[in-house]
Amino acid sequence: MLDEVATAHGTVPDVAVVLSVPEGERMAAHTWNPRLGIVGGLSILGTTGIVIPYSCSAWIHSIHRGIDVARATGVSHIAGATGKTSEAAVRRHFGLAESSVVDMGDFVGGMLKYLDTHPVPWLTIAGGFAKLTKLAQGHMDLHSGRSQVDFEGLAQMVRDLGGAEEVVQQVRGANTANETLRIASGLPLGKTVAAAARLAALARLSAPIALDVLVTDREGRTVGHVGP
């Protein structure tokens, strides 16, 4: 560009160009850069400077890079979170740094598959009750378009926990998974889901990884936690 302008004016591009982003360091803290090992810097891509991995493959690759950075920087405990609420809860629960959290979204299976060949000593899976109910029921893709909560299975959990038959029937007919938490209040349904989700995840791992599962409600309160 400078060459073209200089040539058009019959001169040479004898200039110094400085590119800067006002408050770039502060803005960078709100991107994924710290999780990718980029501290104090801001990449400028496209027109907004913001990259969101919309495709499944792009999101899974982002999970891989987050795990790679954690391993390279000696992080021994990472957390895979389904969203911002569970991320905040698991960071608060364990006092984890941002670089220790992987935004796995719905792709718990993709994360576990990569960790099986790129293990860390300790993994926490953190997510909302509905998402982790799907994991507890054996689903490795937690997206609403690719897996659904089995309310009959939840009702059986409530029955096994000693819930009254009236409560069992209400859970069976619930509209949402989170509604069942209210219906079955007083029963350790969240912990039961956490335990079942942990077993489902362990079945996908052969690497010696200590694994625990933390389940939250919509407000980010822990309703179930089963540790290694």
Whether 87 and 43 have beta carbons less than 8 Å apart is answered as no
Whether 76 and 121 have beta carbons less than 8 Å apart is answered as yes
Q: What is the model's pLDDT at position 50?
A: 58
Specify the pairing of strand 210-216 against strand 122-128: parallel
| Mean pLDDT, residues 21-38 taken together | 72
Q: Residue 189 has which token pair?
A: 């349904």
Q: What is the model's pLDDT at position 37?
A: 64
Query: Is residue 119 over pLDDT 80?
Result: yes
Q: Give the residue, 62 or 6, on which the prediction is more confident.
A: 62
- List the Cα angle 142/86/162 in 5-degree steps: 75
Rounded CA-CA distance 112/211 in Å is: 11
Query: Is residue 49 over pLDDT 60?
Result: no
Q: Residue 224 has which token pair?
A: 């179930």
Q: What is the model's pLDDT at position 2?
A: 76
Rounded CA-CA distance 178/184 in Å is: 10
Q: Give the residue, 48 or 168, on which the prediction is more confident.
A: 168
For the stretch 206-227, pLDDT in tens is 999 999 999 999 999 999 999 8
Q: Tally Cβ neighbours within 10 Å of residue 206.
A: 10
Q: What is the model's pLDDT at position 87?
A: 96
Q: What is the model's pLDDT at position 69?
A: 92
For the question of whether the overall pTM of this predicted structure is more than 0.85, the answer is no
| Mean pLDDT, residues 18-34 taken together | 75
